[in-house]
Amino acid sequence: MSITVHHLNNSRSQRILWLLEELGLPYTITRYQRDSKTMLAPASLKKVHALGKSPVIVDEETGLTVAETAVIVNYLIAKAGGRMGAPGEAAADLRYQYWMHYAEGSLMPPLVLKLVMGRVPVMGRFAMKKVQPMIDNHLDFVEGELAARQWFSGDDIGGADVMMSFPLEAARSRAGLNSSRPATMAWLKRIHARPAYQAALAQGGPYAYA
């Protein structure tokens, strides 16, 4: 039995397709398209989950509907017997959990704020001058970490790398991540070169951040 991914274009759900390909779990995709003017998800997603956001998965085997990217990542890793999960050593496990939560709890908020403020004339431009230094601080922090190790939780790729992919792809697209931070750019190049990542792109359709 397979997992249904309710996939919104150019969204966090691309990470879930990538993880499923890495884990080799069977899945099908139900596609949703953003409104071309508002860039919001269609109302039809609310039929799957009350918040109407993606990603959401439905596991046909258990009948469970699972939302929130990090929760889905943990759920799928457990379903795959722990592959790509916490490394199993205290310090590395803590680092793994840190990046799992950091991706959405710390790095994404200023990126979203910059995106929203960029659409507000005058006051938005003023606010963005305050937001970019916050983002730069985060990107410098990430650069230092990736200069010390190849993957976020240690020697091997894991769920933390999956979680960090979307915010860092978004940062490269619209928040100043470039060759001035070579370790982070090399990490992006590594994940984009993975066969599972490329397979997920083929399955998910056009994705603006790859």
Asked, for residue 28, whether it belongs to a domain, the answer is yes
The answer on 15 and 27 residing in a single domain is yes
Asked, for residue 210, whether it belongs to a domain, the answer is no
The answer on 104 and 70 residing in a single domain is no
The answer on 80 and 17 residing in a single domain is yes
Which pLDDT tens digit goes with each residue over 139-154?
999 999 999 999 998 8
Q: Which residues contact 187 (CB under 8 A, 6 or more apart)?
A: 146, 150, 151, 161, 168
Q: pLDDT tier at 51 (50, 70, 90 boundaries)? A: very high
- pLDDT at residue number 127: 72
CATH number of the domain bearing residue 159: 1.20.1050.10
Residue 59's DSSP bridge partners are 3
The answer on 111 and 37 residing in a single domain is no
- pLDDT at residue number 115: 85
CA 92, distance to chain mean position in Å, is 20
Poorest-pLDDT segment among 126-140, 179-193, 196-210? 126-140
Question: Can you tell me the mean pLDDT for 61-80?
Answer: 97
Q: The domain containing residue 135 runs over which residues? A: 90-194
Q: What is the pTM of this model?
A: 0.93
The answer on 187 and 133 residing in a single domain is yes
Question: To the nearest whole number, what is the mean pLDDT of the chain?
Answer: 93
- pLDDT at residue number 35: 83
Alpha-carbon gap, residue 34 to 42, rounded angstroms: 6
Higher pLDDT, 8 or 138: 138
The token duo for 88 is 């199993």
- Closest Cα to residue 189, out of 177, 204, 176? 177
The answer on 181 and 99 residing in a single domain is yes
% the chain with pLDDT above 90: 79
